[in-house]
């Protein structure tokens, strides 16, 4: 935090760690006969003395309004002049007389791009009305928080509340129909990721909320993940350009959301999976350029956004699955006839307990910091730094099985991996030629899923296409849900002599088995029938 001690009145000072003081109340006089540098310097000193303006991340000024109000970005002279009149009573003098004219538009535009004027204002990267965790994992205090010249946050709210007692959050989680404990833990991981969204630009996963039926609670989970931050939903389209345009419009704000949700994505005719090259690229770009036709000019931003996708039906492309944090819901019975001990989770419980849940999440982070910030080094995910930190926070607070469902969801939600696992379940542990496997693929009705259109002409081409696909997945483990349970297989490849002939063969070696629950088994914790 900065000490807003005063500067001597009337003395122009260079930019420093100490802001200007409140200037004298006399109107500011712009002398048209004086050098521009003198006017720019004097006006910057007087306007900075109001303590309501900061130097913006992309140039210009940012006006910090009252708590709860959105900041105002001043990027043109047209926006600046009314403020100079209202706050400073600015007027123009020429040849020793006040003219009653406005400062020229050219000078006003130049001011916002000139260091002589801007050096009087503290730089700022973010204005927020909710607490933000800074890059050093310290939480923002009310007012101006500067960590470095690349990170300065102005927080307009009250002192953040922290609770070390987990009460409101577990009550909510216990009524959601998570398939496994890993899905439950991943929901908390999603909420922590949103709270720490200023970390890992270009290195945060896509929150993938899936369910077996409508109204299972996907959007409720995403509301929980958003917490006190802003959430913006957009629609999914089969073509990428409308997704990009909607996404850019949402990300530009104002106000800018913390969580952007591609809501209720579903497959269109002729499509076999949910995919978006733009979302893949955006997720891994630390400083994306936001531009699409019809959304204004291009703007480069720091990637502090968290992206989420919700879907009931429809499998997701491999590229999106590799970047995801999976949360799967499996409700039982008629959802509309069930009772809930906490009332309506989305429309009643979360709004009433949102601040308390946010305080509990902060308490989890603070407990992790007090424990020395241990990292979960044994958690595997493409976004490794994110996984180590979030996994460490979860583990120190008693949440287990983080990302334990990652491999299963990749197989179940990826049509190719699911098809390969189904093929493996038909002939496990046998070394088979591609031609043998191609015949099994045809019998199982998996040709459209595993063999490209260009390789379907005859038996030889189908064998060749399947061999190419299998080679890409050698060494991977795939899973499939059967009537008996969840089976996993590791794909192997060998080239050796079989009956005196050198052949290439593939094998689906059994790697694991989880029996399916029966009617006699107790329901999973949290299901409300």
DSSP structural state of residue 346: I
Q: Which H or E element spans position 443?
A: helix 434-444
pLDDT digits (tens, 9 = 90+) for 171-189: 999 999 898 899 999 999 9
pLDDT digits (tens, 9 = 90+) for 306-328: 999 998 765 788 788 888 999 99
Query: What sign has the CA pseudo-torsion 274, 280, 281, 283?
Result: positive
At 67 the pLDDT is 60
Cis, bond preceding 372 (omega within 30 deg of 0): no
At 312 the pLDDT is 79
CA distance 216 to 35: 68
pLDDT < 70 stretches in the chain:
1-25, 65-69, 267-272, 313-314, 333-338, 407-413, 516-529
Q: Which domains does the chain have, with CATH numbers?
A: 29-155 (no CATH), 168-408 (3.40.50.300), 414-515 (no CATH)
At 258 the pLDDT is 93
CA distance 136 to 374: 15
CB 19 within 8 A of CB 146: no
Three-state secondary-structure class, residue 239: coil
At 13 the pLDDT is 38
Q: Give the Å distances, CA to CA, from 266 to 73, 203, 210, 244, 313.
A: 38, 26, 11, 17, 6
CA distance 412 to 183: 14
């Amino acid at each position: 935090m900065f000490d807003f001690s005063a500067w001597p009145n009337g003395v122009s000072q260079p930019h420093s760690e100490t802001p200007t003081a409140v200037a004298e109340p006399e109107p500011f006089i712009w002398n048209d006969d004086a050098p521009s540098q003198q006017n720019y310097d004097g006006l910057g000193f007087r306007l900075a003395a109001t303590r309501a303006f900061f130097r913006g991340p992309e140039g210009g000024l940012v006006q910090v309004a009252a708590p709860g109000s959105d900041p105002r970005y001043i990027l043109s002279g047209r926006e600046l002049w009314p403020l100079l009149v209202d706050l400073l009573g600015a007027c123009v003098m020429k040849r020793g007389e006040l003219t009653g004219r406005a400062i020229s538009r050219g000078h006003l535009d130049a001011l916002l791009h000139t260091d002589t004027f801007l050096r009087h204002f503290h730089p700022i990267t973010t204005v927020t009305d909710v607490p933000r965790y800074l890059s050093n994992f310290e939480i923002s205090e009310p007012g101006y928080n500067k960590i470095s010249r690349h990170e300065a946050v102005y927080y307009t709210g009250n002192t953040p509340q922290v609770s070390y007692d987990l009460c409101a959050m577990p009550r909510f989680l216990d009524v959601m129909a998570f398939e496994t404990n890993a899905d439950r833990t991943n929901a908390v991981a999603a909420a922590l990721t949103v709270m720490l969204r200023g970390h890992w630009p270009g290195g945060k996963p896509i929150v993938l909320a899936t369910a077996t039926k409508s109204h299972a609670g996907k959007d409720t989970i995403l509301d929980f993940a958003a917490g006190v931050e802003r959430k913006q939903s957009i629609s999914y389209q089969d073509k990428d350009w409308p997704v990009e345009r909607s996404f850019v419009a949402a990300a530009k704000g104002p106000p800018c959301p913390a969580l952007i949700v591609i809501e209720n994505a579903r497959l269109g005719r002729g499509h076999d999976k949910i995919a978006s090259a733009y979302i893949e690229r955006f997720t891994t770009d630390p400083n994306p350029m936001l531009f699409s036709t019809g959304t204004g000019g291009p703007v480069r931003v720091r990637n502090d956004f968290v992206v989420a996708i919700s879907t009931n039906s429809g499998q997701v492309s491999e590229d999106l699955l590799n970047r995801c944090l999976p949360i799967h819901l499996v409700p039982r019975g008629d959802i509309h006839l069930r009772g809930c001990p906490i009332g309506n989770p989305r429309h009643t419980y979360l709004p009433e307990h949102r601040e308390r849940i946010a305080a509990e999440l902060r308490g989890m982070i603070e407990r992790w910091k007090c424990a020395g910030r241990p990292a979960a080094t044994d958690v595997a995910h493409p976004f490794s730094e994110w996984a180590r930190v979030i996994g460490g926070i979860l583990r120190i607070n008693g949440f287990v099985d983080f990302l334990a469902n990652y491999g299963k969801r990749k197989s179940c939600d990826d049509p190719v991996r699911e098809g390969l696992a189904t093929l493996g379940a038909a002939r496990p542990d046998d070394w088979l030629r591609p031609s043998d496997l191609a015949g099994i693929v045809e019998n199982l009705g998996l040709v459209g899923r595993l063999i490209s259109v260009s390789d379907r002409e005859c038996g030889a081409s189908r064998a060749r296409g399947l061999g190419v696909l299998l080679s890409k997945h050698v060494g991977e483990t795939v899973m499939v849900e059967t009537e008996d349970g969840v089976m996993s297989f590791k794909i192997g490849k060998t080239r050796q002599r079989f009956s005196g002939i050198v052949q290439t063969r593939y094998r689906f070696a059994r790697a694991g088995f989880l029996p399916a629950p029966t009617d006699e088994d107790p329901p999973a914790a949290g299901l409300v029938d």
